[in-house]
Chains A and B, each alone.
Chain A
């Protein structure tokens, strides 16, 4: 209907009642739109709130504070017999070096309690740091150097402004004295806060300032890799068979129903299964990404099969008919035409399935991946943990500084997820253009 015709209609044929009705319908239309807009606005707002609170809470995890100390590598403390043997050097009293340096900076600190309070400003990691330097370069022994060393978790929180000095002394974990020392160090320009590479490269630790997600990140990658190489080919092959080749019998219908049911099974069940079969019957190692990957592939397989079947079914039948018409065999039809056309959808389904697997913790509890693992895994049978488990373990730790680390790890997990979903979008667009 042309607009001229419409206005004619409105001018001539509409009675008052009809016009009111029309106006009401238009208002309803507007309201409907407003509801939809409102729903999206609320969803986005909550999402923004979530992101903002996580980023504000976790941003500090990417930074750590260090104090530069004049360390004298005293041979007495670290290599008393002077033989420079690595196993002797490894057990040297590096904590003592840090203590000496602090006491030289604050010579008027006396008494055991006060010295202990002073020592607690520095992280236990400071000693590990010095140990590593000496093992790498034994020539340091007997020399002096100014070395930036990590502060303890509480001192770090104070430097970052997360512990207020205005609170009464009994209500914070740092004493007035410790705060005065930190302020003195800051005035002398010895305290710096900088990017914390250890957060990405180290494994877990009980000291919040030393804890990193490196081990969990590698564990997640290995677990997902195992799950992917298992369930992508199996899933696609199963989907192709069921959708394209299988005869419609009672047996195949039963399989279909079961696959759909399997997708809805709570994931912890797969963990129990993994415990019984992979650990119990096959005797695979506990806490290993190999077993984690096997369990998660059970979880993901039905999702991939369902997504793949849907995208195979969406390939127009005309393509199949055309291929048949020029003499292609059923295998050729599937391999040359149907699967390539369905590939974008298959890949999207796979990546979304993988993204779900990335967030799983429940099944991994059963097979021992909810564990404290310091060493970064080097193979798929090494003990490892994964990102969501690391978040769970940190969230459960009493030290206040782990709150920041938890939010930091959530940021990394979200970034991982967003980049996976981004890959899905990119792959789909790329393949859609080609075919």
Chain B
């Protein structure tokens, strides 16, 4: 009774095991791409995808594919070679490094076009149940650095509470949730807030003049004794944790503050509140520029690249009333926007 069916089963299995081989041997269509490929920063990702979607819906071109790989990872892929199998555009939440330009050149990627798209502010915020606590970059440095200067020497950060950092601050334990070292937000925070704070301390300021490298090591190291908690790359998670723990501060991008104004409020830094206007005017100290980089050699080979750049630099995208402003991108000053637009449409190559 079971004799017929098992044979069939076995034959089916035998036949099926041949299938994968044919699948592997089937020629893969390696013709030129008809779709833009973008990689890079998770901070630029929401803006890049918004432009990509709009571009796909309003033009005859296919919607570009945008991957969220982080700035460093994206530029590495971007610089892997000039071929069609490498991305056309890399988004970055920091400027491309000289070493990356060199890597690109070694792999045959020569003409890189840089496009600056706007600003992003990094905020230090806390749950709304507490009153607003203005902070300075110096206080942030003293609260978060691994080693701080005490009586002429550097010691392991002894500050347990904000009051120990500055007598004017409340007697509360220091607890700050922030991004891990792999994140571009962390890079920018360290560079702008920590370094900026360290420079206000006389001893470190002299060090900065004498030995730049030693100063950077001192200013960039964040304490690892539990006061600074690495909360992962997900900014939404940090916002939720701030709600649960009203004493803790969080460090994240401005767009997340914008979306959660009912739950959290940001500390003014050096007396400047992180508002749209203050960041746009360059008054808020912890803000950075966002970029994307393009392979000039792909323009003309991959259809739609020129049009994508035109859309991304257009006033209706990056202008003060543009749709990217709705998503939390802070526009460049008008003159800068005009320069960027002109340089981008002329595909002017990058000079570092």
Measured in the bound complex, the distance between the Cα atoms of B236 and A395 in whole Å is 7
Measured in the bound complex, the distance between the Cα atoms of B18 and A232 in whole Å is 12
Q: Which residue of B28, B50, B261 is within 8 Å of A173 (Cβ)?
A: B261
Measured in the bound complex, the distance between the Cα atoms of B26 and A290 in whole Å is 12
| CB <8 Å contact, B233 and A340 | no
**Does B255 lie at the interface of the complex (its beta carbon under 8 Å from any beta carbon of A)?**
yes
Q: How many residues of B contact A (CB 8 A)?
A: 59
Enumerate chain B residues within 8 angstroms of A371, measured Cβ to Cβ: 65-68
Which of B51-59, B110-118, B156-164, B339-347 is found at the contact surface with chain A? B51-59
Which of B8-16, B201-209, B293-301 is found at the contact surface with chain A? B8-16
Q: Which of A290, A372, A373 has the most CB of B within 10 A?
A: A372
**Does B85 lie at the interface of the complex (its beta carbon under 8 Å from any beta carbon of A)?**
yes
**Does B29 lie at the interface of the complex (its beta carbon under 8 Å from any beta carbon of A)?**
yes
Tell me the smallest distance from the CB of A94 to a CB of chain B, in Å: 10
| CB <8 Å contact, B60 and A372 | no
The residue on B at minimum CB distance from A128 is B57
Which residues B78-117 have CB closer than 8 A to chain A? 85
| CB <8 Å contact, A335 and B235 | no
Q: Given A167-B262, A236-B13, A283-B85 in contact, is the A229-B23 Cβ separation under 8 Å?
A: yes
| CB <8 Å contact, A284 and B28 | yes
| 24 residue pairs from A and B, CB less than 8 Å apart | A87-B60, A91-B58, A171-B261, A172-B262, A229-B19, A233-B13, A233-B14, A233-B17, A237-B13, A237-B17, A283-B28, A284-B28, A335-B6, A336-B7, A339-B6, A340-B2, A368-B39, A372-B45, A372-B48, A372-B65, A374-B53, A397-B46, A398-B256, A434-B5
Tell me the smallest distance from the CB of A89 to a CB of chain B, in Å: 12
A382-407 interface bits toward B, Cβ cutoff 8 Å, 1 = contact, 0 = none: 01000000000101111110010000
Q: Which residue of B7, B17, B30, B53 is within 8 Å of A205 (Cβ)?
A: B53
Measured in the bound complex, the distance between the Cα atoms of B33 and A285 in whole Å is 10
| CB <8 Å contact, A339 and B50 | no
Interface contacts beyond A120-B326, A286-B37, A335-B6: sample of 13 additional A-B pairs, CB < 8 Å, sorted by A: A90-B60, A124-B323, A173-B259, A237-B17, A339-B9, A340-B5, A368-B39, A370-B68, A372-B53, A383-B35, A393-B68, A396-B68, A398-B256
| CB <8 Å contact, A374 and B67 | no
Q: Which residue of B58, B62, B235, B261 is within 8 Å of A172 (Cβ)?
A: B261
When A and B form their complex, what is the total count of cross-chain residue pairs whose Cβ atoms lie within 8 Å?
Answer: 140
| CB <8 Å contact, B29 and A381 | yes
**Does A375 lie at the interface of the complex (its beta carbon under 8 Å from any beta carbon of B)?**
yes
Measuring CB to CB, which residues of chain A are less than 8 angstroms from any residue of chain B? 87, 90-91, 116, 120, 124, 128, 131, 167, 170-173, 204-207, 226, 229-230, 232-234, 236-237, 279, 282-287, 290, 334-337, 339-340, 343, 365, 368, 370-375, 381, 383, 393, 395-400, 403, 434-435
Q: Given A283-B30, A336-B2 in contact, is the A398-B68 Cβ separation under 8 Å?
A: no
Sorted from nearest, which 5 A-B pairs have the closest CB atoms?
A: A233-B17, A335-B10, A171-B262, A374-B63, A372-B66
**Does B182 lie at the interface of the complex (its beta carbon under 8 Å from any beta carbon of A)?**
no
Q: Given A206-B50, A339-B6, A398-B235 in contact, is the A375-B28 Cβ separation under 8 Å?
A: no
**Does B336 lie at the interface of the complex (its beta carbon under 8 Å from any beta carbon of A)?**
no
